[in-house]
Amino acid sequence: MSEQPPPQPGADAPPPPPGSAGPGADTPPPPPGADGPQPPPYQGAYGYQGHQGGYQGPPPPGGPYPPPPGGPYDPRWGYGPPGVPYGPPPQMQSNDPTWAIFSYLGTLLVGFLAPLIIYFVKMRDSAFVRFHAAQALNYQITLLIHILAVAVVCVPPAIIAKNPAFLIPLILPYLEALIAQWVFLILGAVKAGKHEYYRFPTFFCFRMIR
């Protein structure tokens, strides 16, 4: 008669039901791909975003991403600042400063005819001369507008009331034509002689002719 092996401790106990606690049951399973490389974070056009979304500050330096619409110029984006044309600036001819100077000094001698003639002669040949001639013309037109605007306001009351005191505001455009004209035109001629672009204040020179 063969001998039976002694029963092992707990051998007659039933197996644990499915889903019951066991060794390591409290440890959650690792996420998919935890042991592999993570995908790069998403980079949006309006800022750096992580895997979980949400704005997390500006993009990292050197990132090849477009700047946000309407934002300030950043040289990291690789584009020039607003208003700068592509390529090198046009070459200036040797006599361009002379034409530009005459557009200002000729205004002091013969009025608007000098810059008007220079503008039509050189407008297609030199952007430098065109700029200064157009500015001299704009200054003369603006000065005329100032005089007419004040005259329209002051002259009718002076005629109706027969009182010259209403003409006192005409002193302001008169002083502008007498003093400011010399100051701005000579200053513009000096800047043109130095091969520089110089803009008069907008109040004294409306940008009408370009």
Is the pLDDT score of 169 beyond 60? Answer: yes
Residue 104 lies in a domain: yes
- What is the band of 140 on the pLDDT scale with cuts at 50, 70, 90? very high
What is the tens place of the pLDDT at every residue in 33-44? 555 555 555 444
Residue 65 lies in a domain: no
Residue 187 lies in a domain: yes
Residue 130 lies in a domain: yes
Is the pLDDT score of 65 beyond 60? Answer: no
Burial class (CB in 10 A: 0-12, 13-18, 19+), 103: buried
- What is the band of 17 on the pLDDT scale with cuts at 50, 70, 90? low
Structural domain boundaries enclosing 101: 96-193
- What is the band of 188 on the pLDDT scale with cuts at 50, 70, 90? very high
Residue 85 lies in a domain: no
Using CA atoms, how far residue 99 sits from 125, 126, 130, 191, 207, in Å, is 12, 10, 9, 13, 20
Q: Show the CA angle centred on residue 143, arms to residues 142 and 147, nearest 5°.
A: 115
Average pLDDT over residues 164-172: 89
Q: How much is the mean pLDDT over the chain?
A: 73
Is the pLDDT score of 195 beyond 50? Answer: yes
Please state the φ and ψ torsions of residue 49, each to the nearest 5 degrees. -125, 135
- In the chain, how many domains are there? 1
SS3 177: helix
The structure tokens listed for 130 are: 């065109």
Residue 16 lies in a domain: no
What is the tens place of the pLDDT at every residue in 66-99? 555 545 544 444 444 444 444 444 566 778 999 9
Q: Give the rounded distance of the alpha carbon of 139 from its chain centre.
A: 26
Q: Show the CA angle centred on residue 114, arms to residues 192 and 146, nearest 5°.
A: 90
Q: Where are the alpha helices (DSSP H) in the chain?
A: 96-110, 113-122, 127-161, 171-175, 181-193
Token match 């979304």: residue? Answer: 53
- What is the band of 27 on the pLDDT scale with cuts at 50, 70, 90? low
- What is the band of 146 on the pLDDT scale with cuts at 50, 70, 90? very high
Position 73 scores a pLDDT of 46
- DSSP for 112-155 reads THHHHHHHHHHTTT-HHHHHHHHHHHHHHHHHHHHHHHHHHHHH
